[in-house]
Every structure is written in structure tokens, then in C-alpha cells.
Amino acid sequence: MPTKTEKKKWFVVYTRHRWEKKAHSILTENGIESYCPLNRVQRKWSDRMKVVEEPLFKSYLFVRVKEDEKAAVRLTDGVVNFVYWLGKPAIVKDREIETIRKFLNEHDNVDVEQLPLEKDGRVKINSGVFMDQEAKVLQISKKTVRVIIESIGFALIANLSRSNVRSIKPG
């Protein structure tokens, strides 16, 4: 019936506790595009310090699928279900996935806070991988900017100089 080719969209899925990497691996083996953002953090062992990669979002993964592929995702070991927003599976924009990728390429030891979505000021970033990108922020202190990824209600936190952001007048 539909003549138009359906475009794949990014969805958020909830995984079993500490199964993010395993579920990502299984999805990939099954030919399903999956993204598990990994954060490089320094951990102390009894005899040394070591940099390890941990999932940025605990118990969450992103999958890029068509509507008819969602059942296969749900049946994957380690996947509990899709994350719902306003009664529908949460869709994440391509540019937001790309923002997360760029952010993790530029920063280590990234903190994640889950935040309620609120209307707040907007800024434009003047340097780095986010140059010329507008962002919704909760707070700008001396060095910390909290950028909201709107589709999933998470904030990525980067230490940026205040001189690297400028306020945008509401339009």
C-alpha cells in the first residue's frame, strides 16, 4: 500500500541492567543499526589507574530502524522495551545522535543528568565541535554549560569557557 520508502528513525530502547554493550553487540550481529554511546572514564584499581569505556546512558541504547523492524528489536536478548514519550516510542533526531557522538569524541569523563524538559534560555556555541550550534541550556556558571538533548530529556555537561557561548535573543 505505501509507495514511499519508509525512512529509518532513531529510537531509544531500555535494556536489562548492565546489558548495554551486550545488547548492542547482539543487535549489530542481527543486522540492526545500534548505537551505545561509551564514555571514557578513569577508574582506580588497587594497584593502578585505568581508562575504561562505560555506557554513557545506563540501561539505554539507540537503535535506527523502520517501523516494521521494531518487533525484532523487542525480541532481542537484553532489550526490555522501547522508551515511550507521550504514549509513543521516543524518536531521537539524527542531528542529536551526531551531537552525542561529537561530544564524546571531544570530551572524556562526561557526566549525565536526567532533567525535566523546561523552556529556558538559548545559546549559540562559538567554538569546538558544537560551533554555530544552538542549544537549550539550564545554567551557565563560570565554566559549566548544561546542554539539553531534547528528545530524551538528558543533559550532557561540558566544561566550556563562558567566552565560547553567546546568548541568543528569543525570536
List of residues 6+ apart from 91 with CB closer than 8 A: 9, 10, 11, 151
Please indicate whether the domains covering 1-92 and 94-171 agree at the CATH topology level: no
> Are the beta carbons of 100 and 110 closer than 8 angstroms?
no
pLDDT (tens place) for every residue of the chain, 171 residues total: 555 678 999 999 999 999 999 999 999 999 999 999 999 988 888 899 998 999 999 999 999 999 999 999 999 999 999 988 778 898 999 999 999 999 999 888 888 865 433 446 666 666 666 666 666 666 666 666 666 665 566 777 666 666 666 676 665
What span, in angstroms and rounded, lies between the C-alpha atoms of 146 and 39? Answer: 17
What span, in angstroms and rounded, lies between the C-alpha atoms of 20 and 56? Answer: 10
Return the SS3 of 18: coil
Fold type of domain 94-171: SH3 type barrels. (2.30.30)
Q: What angle do CA 118, 123, 129 make, to 5 degrees?
A: 115
> Are the beta carbons of 111 and 144 closer than 8 angstroms?
no
Instruction: Say if domain 1-92 classifies as CATH 3.40.50.620.
Output: no
Model pTM greater than 0.85? Answer: no
Domains of the chain, by residue range, sit at 1-92, 94-171
Task: Give the phi and the psi of residue 71 in degrees, each rounded to 5.
Answer: -65, -40
